[in-house]
Amino acid sequence: MTRQIPLRLPSLPARDLALLEEGRHPDAFAVLGRHTVGDVIVVRAFLPGANYVELILGEGRDAIAMIGQGTGLFEAPAPAEGPYRLRAAWPGGITESADPYSFGLLLSEDDIYLFAEGRHFDLATRLGANLRTIDGVEGALFAVWAPNASHVAVVGDFNSWDGRRHPMRRRLGPGVWELFIPGVEAGAVYKYAIIAASGERLPWKADPLARRTEAPPRTGSVVAAPAEFNWSDEAWLAHRERAHPMAEPMACYEIHVGSWLRTEWGQMGSWDEAVDRLIPYLQHMGFSHVELMPITEHPFGGSWGYQPLGMYAPTARLGPPEAFARFVDRCHAAGIGVILDWVPAHFPSDEHGLARFDGSALYEHEDPREGFHRDWNTLIYNVGRREVRGFLIASALWWVETFHLDGLRVDAVASMLYRDYSRLPGEWVPNQYGGRENLEAVSFFQELNTLIGARGRGAVSIAEESTAWAGVTSPVHHGGLGFHFKWNMGWMHDTLRYFARDPIHRGHHGDDVTFGLLYAFSENFMLPISHDEVVHGKGSLLSRMPGDDWQRFANLRLCLALMWSHPGKKLLFMGCEFGAQDEWNVDAPFPWPHPDDARRRGAMQLVRDLNALYRSTPALHRLDHAPEGFAWLIADDSANCVFAFTRSAGDGAPPLLVVANMTPVPRHDYRIGVAAPGLWRERLNSDAGIYGGADIGNGGQCRTSSTSRHGQRQSLSLTLPPLGLLVLEHDAAGS
């Protein structure tokens, strides 16, 4: 039964009512909800667009008609205590829910304090939109950092995108705004309506902490269900936690998932399709890891993911977060690690994103000499600000812990380490000591890597760092940045430059092959042939090789075989494993080789066998980062363009012998001294017929003679295939 109770008290002051109607009230909790007015308790609700509102008391037997004022304010007297609900009649129907303004403080003081200190590393469960049950009421708790805003409201499909309906409460301290909205369920789309301190209404902002988003080109945030997935990879994680990553084999397949799955009709595919197609391919090819180009939500697909805004959300292009979790779980079941390309250096300036989020330079620097990246037309995170630093570190930990990732490859590290990166004199701001080093970024990386080490259960961090910055992979307690691995960009540039030369000129450029070994053990290096080397007019890896078609494929096989036998972990971009003809195009279908294309099928078989050899042979990976695992035998035969070296596991066994002939001329009776007498077997010949080669070699094995060479009493007389590489192993049983 509905009662009409006269309301004998002054209505809300006109100024407060006007601010509510304008969607500008700075403190909605001061006027909405239950309040004492004189000697009367009153409940106020602001529901613009409602035709009629009732105050439902207790178990719902008592309903009080609320008196409407202005264009949406409803008031009624109420008991001083006890639950109540609001029943509203709208043009489209009737709703009933608890009052958002009946709830007390939502985030704890510890949450607020830790966030302000940049030390809240479970941030995604506090800020953003999180489903909660509070006082028996189900709904969503929204919380967002906007310290310089004068007003913040939640807008979404649950309130007809009306910025007046759900103004938030500002908490003292760092400027976090919060609101619990009863009845909001997973899947609801929302944004924040923010008014700057100047009074300017900003474009609606997506949630920086959203764990799910609409699929681009739509830009809304989506209320995500709790991250609850039935994982089956505990044995994998336990093994990873015990392992020593520097001594383990790591052969990574770098992939843009949408591009790899894309069909000739332009369809991008999904995580479930990746489970069905990608995982079996990775298993077949023998890669130990897959490295995903950024899947954090990004508005512009042409950025390949390197301009993200959703630092906590897997891109909706490929499916919901639980589908990504399922993909990772199935990778682990198949024995494949998953590494994510993660971008903390910069973000795009899209108006719905982080740029001037509350009307001020919040996530970015105010000074464009620090805050704008001209190379990419993006904004640079201010990692010197504690809240921003904590936001990024919590993002990294979210991916590693929530999705069980095996590592993060951190993009554009060099651009963060140097204040003058890609800037002319006068275009950058020195550090406090007058130098070019970004001390805040150094501290950021040290804390990031320390926490990944402490919380990641054996997950690794990999730096894409292109300069000679010392100590990238040195421990933090030794003054280093603390990464596990660093991309060896010097090796990559030298190697590709060498292989691009006509073999007739290679004799004058042997230092391109040997120079990298002068510093190969100064860091824990990974050898990358990444997407960056097959875009922007550089051509494909195959197209950079000289000669006719036969020589180009022989050079490709030689290049890959040399890479797999060289010290350092491996990374190869998709398509390079079979010699894709054209450079990579994210919008084109993946150029799978025709079944009758023997040379490309041969290249794939070589990569498969290289992975098998590398992963099963400790000499090729155990001492990747120790000088005792490598020794030159021949580094100066410029006349023949032959290089020879050994790889050792440090276990007392004779080392592997690796010999590379960099010319298209076979070398017969080429003598190389070896440590052990007797039979040596070919573990790999890149010129084998199965790989599309000419099958020139040593019949699979060779015996030593007593002719001394290279400081050894015995030697092998080898036939070196043209543009070929041999890997030989001593056979003690056969000797």
Rounded-to-integer distance, Cα 115 and Cα 126, Å: 10
Q: Which residues pair with 45 in a beta bridge?
A: 74
Rounded-to-integer distance, Cα 576 and Cα 27, Å: 59
Q: Is there a catalytic annotation at residue 464?
A: yes
- The 8 Å CB, 24+ separation contacts for 535-538 are 535/583, 535/584, 537/583, 538/583
Alpha-carbon distance values, 462 to 341, 415, 477, 487 (Å): 9, 15, 18, 7
For the chain, how many helices (H) and strands (E)?
A: 14, 37
User: Following CA atoms 270, 271, 272, 275 in sequence, which dihedral angle do they give, to the nearest 10 degrees?
Assistant: 130
Q: Are 554 and 539 in contact (CB under 8 A)?
A: no
Phi, psi of 526 (to 5 degrees): -115, 135
Q: Are 484 and 407 in contact (CB under 8 A)?
A: yes
Instruction: Name the active-site residue from 99, 411, 609, 687.
Output: 411
DSSP letter (8 states) at residue 427: S
Three-state secondary structure along 495-544? HHHHHHCCHHHHHHCCHHHHHHHHCCCCCCEEEEECHHHHCCCCCCCHHH
Alpha-carbon distance values, 630 to 150, 405, 619, 647 (Å): 63, 31, 9, 5
Instruction: Name the active-site residue from 464, 609, 624, 729.
Output: 464
DSSP letter (8 states) at residue 306: S
> What DSSP string runs through 216-263?
TT---EEPPPP-------HHHHHHHHHS-GGGS--EEEEE-HHHHH--
Q: Is there a catalytic annotation at residue 411?
A: yes
Rounded-to-integer distance, Cα 663 and Cα 506, Å: 8
Q: Which residues pair with 43 in a beta bridge?
A: 34, 76
Contacts with 264 (C-beta within 8 Å, 6 or more apart), sequence order: 589
Rounded-to-integer distance, Cα 207 and Cα 142, Å: 9
DSSP letter (8 states) at residue 649: -
Side chain identity at residue 2, one-letter code: T
Q: Are 317 and 216 in contact (CB under 8 A)?
A: yes
Q: Are 145 and 387 in contact (CB under 8 A)?
A: yes
Contacts with 644 (C-beta within 8 Å, 6 or more apart), sequence order: 632, 633, 634, 657, 658, 659, 660, 672
In this structure, what token pair is assigned to residue 121?
A: 């590393």
CA atoms within 13 A on the CB side of 167: 26
Closest CA to 143 of 71, 190, 207, 196: 207
DSSP letter (8 states) at residue 202: P
In this structure, what token pair is assigned to residue 164?
A: 């007046």
Closest CA to 4 of 57, 82, 66, 51: 66
In this structure, what token pair is assigned to residue 672?
A: 């190389």
Alpha-carbon distance values, 451 to 212, 313, 505, 722 (Å): 25, 21, 49, 49
Contacts with 615 (C-beta within 8 Å, 6 or more apart), sequence order: 249, 251, 286, 288, 621
Q: Active-site positions?
A: 411, 464
